[in-house]
Structures are given as structure tokens and as C-alpha cells.
Amino acid sequence: MSDNKLTIAGENAVILFEGLFKSIEQSEIEKWITNIDIAFKPIEDKIDYFKEELENQEINDFEFHIIFFKTDGKSCAVKKSIENISIIHFNEIIKIFKEVGQLIRKEHFNLGLIYRMIPVQVNKKKEQLNINRVLDFYSSIIQGTTISVHTVFDYYSEALACSRRKFLAKKADNYYNLYQLGRLVNKETKGFEYFVKEISIFYLGLIKVLTKLEILDKEVLTVEKDISELELNPTIQEKENFLCLNGFSKEAKGLFYLGCMTYQIGRMQEMQNHKNKPILNKISYMGMGTKDILDLYCVLLEKFNQYQSAIRKKAIYLIIDFEKYHHMATKYLGNLPNVLGNEKENLFYLMSGYSSCIYIKKSAEEEDTNDSEQ
């Protein structure tokens, strides 16, 4: 039994196997324990997924159960169980994560990374207080039960809000599970931007996975087939291709470009020796309602008028790009009050645009960021 123990999402778990028609050889159990462990490891580098594709029908004729438990060394108590998991279905889930990881260019995208995406609080003893939200999410994915789109965007918004507070405090004293938060928090604005870029693409990938599994309660980011054939500036064309391929609606595209505008103002502020990019404080990380969007839009235009004379002499490309993004934002948004929906969904589209302008200058291990148009 001890050989079947794993750590999943920071919690103790034991894997129990059950043959459907006959008993399972111990050698096969050991192989699948290794594969299940890999699937749930939130490894932040390139990993190998299932080491072997066990296609033999006899080998696949079994189920397994994941039992999460806590122990004080003397007794055990079950925290959560995910039962009757078909190994065939589980293998399909892993394949979908791998396919989506290739689409979003994140080869380490797997089930385990979900643990790095959903904020989990700890107490003074470092015990995870609300880990059930992660375990429940795993259960829904594995057992095919419906997940609310609002829940996904709630977690995204919460991840940004929690991380933003920690970056401002320059102290990662909670939410230790969030993606590289402990290593990034001392890098201030650059670290926060790296976090936003990574977490935004992870949530885009997660939405794609849930869509492929057909377990979202409503359609979101439905893939559009037509990519604009108009002659556009290469920078805009690249973003248009991304937006169309990922199924952003007209309104979502407008918010995306508003995020691009926000990034350009941040760069202008940085060049004016405002290293912390004060424009980031104009974003409501718990959700962007209509008033928040309108206020941000007005501030962006105000700051653009304020900075453009000085910036024009230093970096004319920032002026040019801001004007391009402004044109695209107004093209898609039109009458703002009539088109905006869920506040946290709005935040996702806005920050997806912001993060699309961030260029990772060095290796991921160095976690540095810089401007993509330099």
C-alpha cells in the first residue's frame, strides 16, 4: 500500500487499482503509479507525459481510485475521494492536455499545473485551508461533471488579485502554490508581468481543455475559422491571427486591445522613471465592470496626451503602437456600456492583451521581462 502513495496538490493521496475482468500485475501497477504521478506533478519545465502508451486492451481493462487523506501519524481521515476512474478516459484527458500544451506552446501544461493556477491559502502551520477547491476541480475534470465558466474566471481573477497584493508587499507569505510566486515576488513589476503572462496563457489553455472535454456550462472562446485577409500592420496581424484562432468575440477583442494600450502606457511611464508602472494600479484585479473599463480608457488617453511629447523623442514606436491598438479597440468595442459582460471575464480579456505585449527577454528560469517592440 505504501508504494501506492503519492503527493497530489500538496496533499497525501493513495491510489487503489481495480481490475475489471482480472487482477492486475504488480509491474503494471508500478508503471501506472509513475504515469499518474507525472500527470499530477506541477513541474514548471518540459516534462515527459505518459512514458509508455499502454494500448493493450487487457492492460487498459481496469479502474483506479484516488483517496486524499490527512494523518497525524496515529490515525487517518479521508479528505476527498475520486473513484472509478477509467484508465482509458484518464489517458484521453492527459492527451488533451498535451495537445493543448502544444497549441499554447507550454510543453509542461498538465493536470498538475492547475494546482499552480488556483490560489490556496495556508495557516500558520502551513496547512492548506481551501485545497478542496483544487481537488473538486480535479474531480470534475476526471469524472466529467460540469464546471461553471464563472468559476474559471473567478479563480483567474483571484490569482491576479492575490499575487498583486503580494508583489506590492514584496512578500510571498501565503498562496505558496501560485506559479513561481515565491521566486518572482522580489522582482517587483517585472516579476508581476511575468506572472500575468504565464497565468493568462495557462487559463486560456485550461478553457481549451474544458471545451474539448465538453464540461463547461456554456460556450466561451469558440474557435473562429476566418482569419482576416486585410493588409494589416504585422504587429496587428499577428494579434488578429491569435484572437481569431482562439475564438475571441468582437467585444473580447476590444478589451484585448485595451490591454495592449495599457501596456504601452506602462512602458511610457517606465521611460519616465516610474518603474512600478502606476497604470497597473488603475486595474481592478477582482473584475473590470463597465465603469472600471470606461475609467481606464479615459486614463489611458489622458496619460497618452501627457507623455507623447517626451516619448516621441525617445521611442516613437510606443506612440505608433498605442495609436494602432487604440484604433483596434474602438473598432471592436463601439458603445462600451452595451457590450460588456461578466466583470472577471472582462479582466481576463484585458490582461490577455496586456500580457501579449510582454516579451520574455531571458530564459524562463531567470524570469525577466522586457518590451516586445524594442
Low-confidence ranges of the chain (pLDDT < 70): 1-2, 21-22, 43-60, 223-231, 335-340, 360-374
Percent of the chain surpassing pLDDT 90: 60
**Whole-angstrom distance, CA of residue 42 vs CA of residue 116:** 7
- pLDDT given at position 72: 81
- pLDDT given at position 339: 61
**Whole-angstrom distance, CA of residue 27 vs CA of residue 30:** 5
Cβ neighbour number for residue 260 with a 10 Å cutoff: 26
Q: How far is CA 289 from the centre of its chain?
A: 21
Positive or negative CA dihedral for 239, 244, 247, 251? positive
Find the helix or strand (DSSP H, E) in which 82 lies: strand 76-86
**Whole-angstrom distance, CA of residue 83 vs CA of residue 66:** 6
List Cα–Cα distances, 174 to 169, 182, 227, 271, in angstroms: 12, 9, 43, 32
Kindly report each contact of residues 120-125 with a partner whose C-beta sits within 8 Å and lies 24 or more positions away, as own/partner.
120/9, 120/10, 120/175, 120/177, 121/174, 121/175, 122/174, 122/175, 122/176
Per DSSP, helices labelled H in 246-289 are 250-271
**11-66, pLDDT tens digit by residue?**
999 999 987 766 777 777 888 888 899 999 876 544 444 444 434 434 567 899 99
- pLDDT given at position 337: 60
Q: How far is CA 251 from the centre of its chain?
A: 21
- pLDDT given at position 209: 96
Cβ neighbour number for residue 12 with a 10 Å cutoff: 15
- Name the amino acid, one letter, at 63: E
- pLDDT given at position 24: 75
Burial class of residue 137 (count of CB atoms within 10 Å of its CB; 0-12, 13-18, 19+): buried
Could you tell me the pTM of the whole model?
Answer: 0.89
**321-366, pLDDT tens digit by residue?**
999 999 999 999 876 666 667 899 999 999 999 999 997 554 444 4
